[in-house]
DNA sequence: GTGAAAGCGCTAACAT
DNA sequence: ATGTTAGCGCTTTCAC
């Protein structure tokens, strides 16, 4: 008796079923389908006919079990698949992985270390061939040491691992940010506001470093009052208004990510302030359609995903060199919003 | 001798290894881990200790094989994971699926029927528990009849299946489009251009129908010269310029998707035409930051993904009612770009 | 409360 | 050129 809840599973024909239908053994069918041992032309035909007749589909799980291989999948843990940035990262991973005949399995951690750990555990139990992780803040990846030692490729994306040495692919956050702020300084701005995300995020910290680098390089003072903190466009909009309300307000703003830029643009528009220069990090689709068009430090999310996947695939091919950090360049796209000189 | 190419696989401890370490049988370990049969408290402790010591991870593939269950995964075939719209759809699927303890596996068809078929075959071979498909144009889904008959939940998203009756979740394309165009007509526009994608796409055809519905309801004539065709923002920009160059140009535009809207906005800005009203389909992040803010017919991509996943899960729970079509509502968000009255 | 044997669907290693 | 046997890691069945 087979259980009733899984009709699709119990109805599926097996190799033996096909063999019976074709008048041969399961092994012969296996040979035909995997093209190893020799098979007579006529047998081959009969087998293929039986396969079609029964709608046979090889069971990959059973196959993997037998040949002792890991599952032909790559696991990706990402904060949120629906986020445009991370969606693009996932797309980059998917292309690289599929080109290699592997399948992508994804889960969203929702920026939670607990969910991230649960997803990683699930993926490891599935025996994925490689693991790609955009780590949530507050996590601890020491438990992956053993897996790495056992030869499982583990690559971190967008943010470095915590308490673990492992491969890692990140944007040129600091340098990109520096270039964006330098762009504003070159237009004569001396008071530049930083509209940033929460300090727990690696990217915010790096981009703030780049901001300070640019100020330092120009001999400008760093002022804490010009640095704001907040997650999401509404927080960024409020932060922008607060900056504009300072006794000595900034004449230009640098937005630390796409949502911060959105908040800043909206706040400036609502306040009717066309005299404030703005440079954003990340290049959302409508940036060029804004008025003025938004100058940005563009990242390459698909590039990050692709590079991470390639690195994992190289490890899978036996690359045993020590853990390396790949930095994906950013690109300053001057469109107009950063060209504004300071008033006066 | 185990093969050398898969060190991670061959090193992994098995149930038997854990049993040996704890001085019990594999079966007892299995009992502890799955909590079925009775186990003595002390044995249990010893087993759990051994599990931790060896870093044991249950092999899900082997488990599934034995219990004859399908894999605890849902397969999703999507045109492009990196596309913001489809990324959001995938995010909606992922949330619903994860809440159920299932794992998402995704592949990009790149709008190609061949790739789509290959992905479907891979997923079926993996014995996914359900199949979600955004069908590429030009495909044929008759081959899925058998799978559906065998009880496999198959749900189509965003577009209906070809030559197959199956569950399907789509946006209210026609009605949304009608509402968007009616919005323009209500502002007095009588010549409205349609900036659309390629006719092979189901969504373009439906939205064009909605456009015609709105015209007909207002007693306005349908003019073929006002309807354009082209994929991507550049094509849309060219189409927009062509419409504006007509002897009797439209006073308003309706853009059939996000990229068409982007192209139209950019073209209007470049041409310095602030006098042309515009309504778009889809609600990209910066739409509200445009000048004027973009009026749109917003879709709910995550809602589409979620609804499709829920439908599949209900089927998995035994819902055997006949195939149904779920229509996810759209929402007209009036922001300004559609408020412009026709000149004169 | 625990173990031994059998078997899920498949393939490696040897027959024949 | 094909079949037999054994076994992958796990769970079911039945014995103790």
Q: Is residue A259 part of a domain?
A: yes
Give pLDDT, residue B36: 86
Q: Which residues touch strand C (CB under 7 A)?
A: A 12, 14-16, 26-27, 30, 33-34, 36-37, 58-59, 62-63, 65-67; B 1, 19, 23-25, 27-28, 31, 37-40, 42-44, 62, 65-66, 68
Report the C-alpha gap between B181 and A191 in whole angstroms. Answer: 46
Q: Is residue B9 part of a domain?
A: no
Q: DSSP secondary-structure letter at B69? A: P
Q: Is residue A42 part of a domain?
A: yes
Q: Within 13 Å, how many C-alpha atoms sit on residue A283's CB side? A: 18
Give pLDDT, residue B4: 30
Query: How far does the CA of residue A174 sit from the closest CA of chain B (Å)?
Result: 25
CB contact under 8 A, A104 and B105: yes
Same domain, B186 and B292: yes
Strand ranges for chain A from DSSP E: 73-78, 103-108, 130-133, 154-157, 167-171, 192-196, 227-229, 252-255, 277-281, 295-298, 325-328, 331-333
Average pLDDT of chain A to the nearest whole number:
95
Same domain, B284 and B177: yes
CB-count exposure of residue A337 (10 Å: 0-12, 13-18, 19+)? buried
Closest CA to A138 of A169, A106, A110, A174: A110
Q: Is residue A95 part of a domain?
A: yes
Q: Which element (helix H / strand E) includes B229?
A: strand B227-229
Q: Is A7 on the interface with B (CB under 8 A)?
A: yes
Q: Are A294 and A265 in contact (CB under 8 A)?
A: yes
Tell me how many helices (H) and strands (E) chain A has. 13, 12
Same domain, A295 and A307: no
Same domain, A83 and A138: yes
Q: Are A102 and A127 in contact (CB under 8 A)?
A: no
Q: Place A239 in a pLDDT band, splitting at 50, 70 and 90.
A: very high
Report the C-alpha gap between A100 and B287 in whole angstroms. Answer: 38
Q: Is residue A241 part of a domain?
A: yes
Q: Is residue A116 part of a domain?
A: yes
CB contact under 8 A, B105 and A107: no
Same domain, B85 and B197: no
Same domain, A22 and A73: no
Average pLDDT of chain B to the nearest whole number:
95
Q: Is A71 on the interface with B (CB under 8 A)?
A: yes
Total number of domains in chain B: 3
Q: Is residue B42 part of a domain?
A: yes
Query: How far does the CA of residue A82 sit from the closest CA of chain B (Å)?
Result: 4
SS3 content of chain A, % helix, strand, coil (to 5): 45, 15, 40
Q: What are the backbone dihedrals phi and psi of residue B37, each rounded to the nearest 5 degrees, phi first?
A: -50, 170
CATH of the domain at B27: 1.10.260.40
Give the pairing type, strands B103-108 and A103-108: antiparallel
Q: Is residue A281 part of a domain?
A: yes
pLDDT tens column, B199-219: 999 999 999 999 999 999 999
Same domain, A214 and A236: yes
Give pLDDT, residue A235: 98
Q: Which bases on strand C have an atom closer than 7 Å to a protein beta carbon? A: 1-5, 7-14
Q: Average pLDDT for residues A91-120, to the nearest whole number?
A: 98
Taking CA–CA distances from B148, the nearest residue in chain A reads A8
Q: Average pLDDT for residues A275-297, to the nearest whole number?
A: 95
Report the C-alpha gap between B309 and A233 in whole angstroms. Answer: 29
pLDDT tens column, A120-153: 999 999 999 999 999 999 999 999 999 999 999 9
Does residue A6 register a pLDDT over 50? no
Q: Place B5 in a pLDDT band, splitting at 50, 70 and 90.
A: very low
Give pLDDT, residue A55: 93
Q: Place A4 in a pLDDT band, splitting at 50, 70 and 90.
A: very low
Q: Given CA atoms B175, B179, B181, B185 in this order, what sign does their dihedral have? A: positive
Share of chain B above pLDDT 70, in %: 97
Same domain, B200 and B236: yes
Share of chain A above pLDDT 90, in %: 95
Q: Which bases on strand D have an atom closer than 7 Å to a protein beta carbon? A: 1-5, 7-13
Give pLDDT, residue B344: 79
Partner residue opposite B286 with nearest CB, options A55, A94, A262: A262
Same domain, B96 and B183: no
pLDDT tens column, B38-81: 999 999 999 999 999 999 999 999 999 999 999 999 999 999 99
Q: Average pLDDT for residues B119-142, to the nearest whole number?
A: 97
Give pLDDT, residue A1: 28
Report the C-alpha gap between A180 and A296 in whole angstroms. Answer: 7
Partner residue opposite B6 with nearest CB, options A70, A104, A269: A70
CB-count exposure of residue A343 (10 Å: 0-12, 13-18, 19+)? exposed
CA A308 to the chain's CA centroid: 9
Report the C-alpha gap between A220 and A312 in whole angstroms. Answer: 42
Give pLDDT, residue B6: 34
Query: How far does the CA of residue A219 sit from the closest CA of chain B (Å)?
Result: 34
Domain that holds residue A93: 68-171+301-328
CATH of the domain at A324: 3.40.50.2300
Give pLDDT, residue A282: 96
Does residue A8 register a pLDDT over 80? no
Report the C-alpha gap between B71 and B125 in whole angstroms. Answer: 10
Same domain, A278 and A248: yes
Report the C-alpha gap between A184 and A181 in whole angstroms. Answer: 5
Residue B100, C-beta contacts closer than 8 angstroms, at least 6 positions apart: B313
Give pLDDT, residue A11: 75
Same domain, B102 and B162: yes
Buried (b) or exposed (e) across B290-315, using 16+ Cβ within 10 A? bbbbbbbbbbbbbbbbbbbbbbbbeb
Give pLDDT, residue A36: 86
Q: Is B1 on the interface with A (CB under 8 A)?
A: no
Q: Average pLDDT for residues A186-211, to the nearest whole number?
A: 98
Residue nearest to nucleotide C3 (CA to C1'): B25
Closest CA to B256 of B180, B157, B341: B180
> Is omega for the bond preceding B292 within 30 degrees of 0, making it cis?
yes
Report the DSSP beta bridge partners of residue B167.
B155
pLDDT tens column, B287-328: 999 999 999 999 999 999 999 999 999 999 999 999 999 999
Same domain, B250 and B162: no
Does residue B184 register a pLDDT over 70? yes
């Amino acid at each position: 008796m087979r259980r009733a809840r899984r009709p699709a599973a119990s109805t599926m024909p097996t190799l033996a079923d096909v063999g019976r239908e074709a008048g041969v053994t399961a092994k012969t069918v296996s040979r035909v389908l995997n093209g190893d041992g020799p098979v007579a032309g006529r047998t081959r035909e009969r087998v293929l006919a039986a396969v079609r007749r029964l709608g046979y589909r090889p069971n990959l799980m059973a196959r993997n079990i037998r040949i002792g291989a890991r599952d032909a999948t790559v696991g990706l843990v990402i904060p949120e698949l629906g986020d445009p940035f991370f969606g693009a990262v996932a797309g980059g991973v998917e292309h690289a992985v599929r080109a290699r005949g592997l399948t992508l399995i994804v889960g969203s951690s929702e920026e939670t270390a607990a969910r991230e750990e649960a997803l990683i555990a699930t993926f490891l139990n599935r025996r994925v061939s490689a693991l790609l992780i955009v780590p949530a803040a507050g996590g601890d990846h020491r438990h992956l040491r053993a897996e790495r030692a056992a030869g499982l490729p583990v690559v971190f994306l967008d943010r470095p691992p915590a308490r673990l040495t492992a491969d890692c692919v990140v944007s040129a956050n600091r340098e990109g940010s520096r270039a964006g702020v330098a762009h504003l300084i070159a237009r004569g701005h001396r008071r530049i506001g930083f509209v940033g995300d929460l300090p727990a995020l690696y990217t915010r910290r790096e981009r703030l470093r780049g901001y300070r680098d640019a100020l330092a390089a120009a001999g400008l003072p760093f002022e804490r009052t010009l640095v704001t903190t907040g997650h999401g466009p509404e927080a960024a909009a409020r932060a922008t208004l607060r900056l504009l309300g300072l006794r000595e307000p900034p004449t230009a703003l640098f937005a630390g990510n796409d949502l911060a830029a959105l908040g800043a643009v909206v706040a400036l528009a609502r306040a009717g302030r066309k005299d404030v220069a703005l440079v954003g990090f990340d290049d959302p689709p409508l940036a060029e359609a804004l008025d003025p068009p938004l100058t940005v430090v563009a990242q390459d999310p698909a590039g990050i995903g692709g590079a991470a996947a390639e690195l994992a695939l190289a490890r899978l091919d036996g690359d045993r060199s020590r853990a390396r950090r790949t930095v994906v360049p950013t690109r300053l796209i001057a469109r107009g919003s950063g060209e504004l000189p300071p008033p006066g």
